[in-house]
Structure 1
Amino acid sequence: MEIIKLHHPLSSDFHQSEKLVLAMGYFDGIHLGHQKVLEKAREIAMQKNLPLAVLTYDHKPAVVYKQLSPHDRRNIIMPDSKNEMFESLGVNKVFVVNYSFSFQNQTPQEFVDNYLVRFNADTVVAGTDHTYGAKDATMDLLPNYAKNRFDVVAVDLADYQLEKISSTRIRKNLDEGHIQTVNHLMGRPFQTGGTVVHGFARGRELGYPTANIEHDELQWLPTIGVYVVDVFIGEKKYHGMASIGRNVTFGDKNPITVEINILDFNDNIYGEVLKVDWLYRIRGEVKFEGIDKLIKQLQSDEDFTRQYFENN
């Protein structure tokens, strides 16, 4: 899969000679709705024997038109993982545009002429709620701007529990700890990746050694709590229980950390880059009155985690 990074305006020597089918969107999460768009685009590409391309952006478009908190600037899926998903879904080429004010400030017609036409699109596919250009033109209007130069296909996003599947809905459920709903909306376990770093070694002292995971600051994480997880070290998968929290039993001003106790595992993995599938939220964070009560709760969490994997 070819990844092409672009800056607005396109260089005068930019040239796309081969016709292609183009799917548009930021695709944060590549949830079931996004997958429906990409699958439709792939179906058309196969029918027409054309390459499948994606037009996406290097950061959230909202960065341009409103102030975002550090929390809201985070992504459900990081760029490398997004590209891996694109490739797995049959995408041949990804155009990554720097989403700047000048790019957004194009009229809908300018956007179509400057990008979709210069990309030599045979067919353009996007979700029905996709907008483009300074006036937030809708997909219903795109045929007017296309002027018979390419076909337009708008895809209704898949529904779950009578609601539209959206990245906004996924982020809300992550913040509320509804990880099973998130996984239903995404069509796969919510996954993060990070590097194992040194912590305070409290888990080892309690009999539950943990891998402390340092995530990219732009990675959206589930809310504070204790979770059942799968951990991938290289190609090997391990079961575990994870804690996202401030270790409030040991103080009220601790930073939020991600710690994972990998079941039946005791190797030194400092420096390893792990992938974590978040499967089930066991409980929220609790401040315990004494270490003995904390250890008893950890034993209960472990029993729950082992039972979960026996039943799933």
Structure 2
Amino acid sequence: MKVINLSYPISNKIEFKQPVVLAMGFFDGVHLGHQAVIKQAKQIADKKGLPLAVLTYDHHPALVYKKLEGNAARYLSIWNRKVQLFDDLGVNIVYRVNYNYAFQAQKPQEFVDNYLVRMQSETVVAGFDHTYGAKKATMNDLPDYAKGRFHVVTVPADVLAGKKISSTRIRRNLENGHLKTVNELLGYQFETEGTVVHGLARGRTLGFPTANVEYSELQQLPSEGIYIVSMLVNDEWLPAMASIGRNVTFGNHNPITIEINILDFNQNIYGNRVKVRWLAKMRDEVKYTGEQALIEQLQKDEIQTREYFTKIGQA
């Protein structure tokens, strides 16, 4: 899969040498609704013998209009993860556009002429609620702007439990710790990637040594609490339990950390690049009156984690 970075205006040195079927959208999370768009574009591309291209953006378009804070400024899928998900769906080319003021200020017709036509789009596919151009034109308007130069396919909303699948819905469930719903809406298990770094080694003194995972600040995390997870270490998924929190038993002003206790594991993995799949939330973070109370709770968490993996039969 080829990734091509673009800015406005597109340089005359960049050549678009062959027609493509183009799926467009921001695709944060590449959830089931996004997958429906890309899969439909893939079917059309295969039928017509053309490459499948995706037009997406380097950051959230809302950054041009307003200051984003907290989880609103973070992503369900940071760039490397998004590219991997595109690749898994059979995308051949990714056009990554720098979404700046000049780009968003284009009139809808200018956007169509400068990008969709310039990219030799034979067919353009997007979700029913996709908008483009300074006046936020809709997919209903696109055939008029296309002027017969490409076909337009609009994909309807994908629903789960009677509600639209959306990044906003996934964010809300992630913040509430509803991992089962999050993973159902995504169509895969929510994942975090990072590097194992040194921590304060409190877990080891409690009998529950942990791998502290340093993560990207751009990545949205589940809510603070204790989770059942799988962790990819040296190409093997291992059963584990995780804490996202501030270690409140040991102070009130600690930073948020991700700490992973891998079951039946005793290897030095400092510096390892790892992935964490978030499977289920067990409980909220609790401030205990002493280490013994915390140890007893961690023992209960371990029992629950082992029972989970015994039930599903895998990590």
1:171 matched to 2:175:
no
Correspondence for 2:19: 19
Counterpart of 1:71 in 2: which secondary structure?
A: helix
1:136-215 aligned at under 5 Å gives the runs 136-215=136-215
Counterpart of 1:72 in 2: which secondary structure?
A: helix
Counterpart of 2:72 in 1: which secondary structure?
A: coil
Q: Write the distance in 1 (CA, Å) between the matches of 2:122 and 2:197.
A: 48
- Conserved in 2, the CA contact under 8 Å of 1:37 and 1:157? no
1:133 matched to 2:133:
yes
- Conserved in 2, the CA contact under 8 Å of 1:131 and 1:139? yes
- Conserved in 2, the CA contact under 8 Å of 1:229 and 1:240? yes
Correspondence for 2:232: 232
Between the two proteins, the alignment pairs up a number of residues equal to: 312
Correspondence for 1:62: 62
Question: What letter corresponds to residue 50 of structure 1 in structure 2?
Answer: L
Counterpart of 2:126 in 1: which secondary structure?
A: strand
Residue 157 of structure 1: how far off its partner (Å): 2.7
Q: Write the distance in 2 (CA, Å) between the matches of 1:16 and 1:235.
A: 37
For residues 1-40 of structure 1, what are the alpha-carbon distances to aligned partners after superposition, in whole Å with 9 as ceiling and x for unaligned? 1110011111123221211100001111000000000000
Q: Write the distance in 1 (CA, Å) between the matches of 2:24 and 2:304.
A: 42
Correspondence for 1:283: 283
Q: Write the distance in 2 (CA, Å) between the matches of 1:77 and 1:233.
A: 20
Q: Write the distance in 2 (CA, Å) between the matches of 1:301 and 1:180.
A: 18
Q: Write the distance in 2 (CA, Å) between the matches of 1:138 and 1:41.
A: 18
1:260-279 aligned at under 5 Å gives the runs 260-279=260-279
Question: What letter corresponds to residue 211 of structure 1 in structure 2?
Answer: A
For residues 96-118 of structure 1, what are the alpha-carbon distances to aligned partners after superposition, in whole Å with 9 as ceiling and x for unaligned? 00000100000000000000000
Correspondence for 1:7: 7
For residues 116-145 of structure 1, what are the alpha-carbon distances to aligned partners after superposition, in whole Å with 9 as ceiling and x for unaligned? 000000000000010000011110110010
Q: Write the distance in 1 (CA, Å) between the matches of 2:199 and 2:181.
A: 31
Residue 199 of structure 1: how far off its partner (Å): 0.5
Question: What letter corresponds to residue 299 of structure 1 in structure 2?
Answer: Q
Correspondence for 1:122: 122
- Conserved in 2, the CA contact under 8 Å of 1:107 and 1:135? yes
Question: What letter corresponds to residue 240 of structure 1 in structure 2?
Answer: A
For residues 221-253 of structure 1, what are the alpha-carbon distances to aligned partners after superposition, in whole Å with 9 as ceiling and x for unaligned? 000000000000131110000000011111111
Correspondence for 2:77: 77
1:42 matched to 2:45:
no
Counterpart of 2:73 in 1: which secondary structure?
A: coil
Correspondence for 2:306: 306
Q: Write the distance in 1 (CA, Å) between the matches of 2:183 and 2:234.
A: 22
Residue 70 of structure 1: how far off its partner (Å): 4.4
Query: TM-score scaled to structure 2, two decimals?
Result: 0.98
Structure 2 residues without counterparts, runs of 5 or longer: none
Q: Write the distance in 1 (CA, Å) between the matches of 2:13 and 2:285.
A: 56
1:248-267 aligned at under 5 Å gives the runs 248-267=248-267
Residue 290 of structure 1: how far off its partner (Å): 1.0
Q: Write the distance in 2 (CA, Å) between the matches of 1:210 and 1:190.
A: 21
- Conserved in 2, the CA contact under 8 Å of 1:179 and 1:280? yes
- Conserved in 2, the CA contact under 8 Å of 1:34 and 1:157? no
Counterpart of 2:266 in 1: which secondary structure?
A: coil
Q: Write the distance in 1 (CA, Å) between the matches of 2:80 and 2:211.
A: 23
Query: TM-score scaled to structure 1, two decimals?
Result: 0.99
- Conserved in 2, the CA contact under 8 Å of 1:229 and 1:241? yes
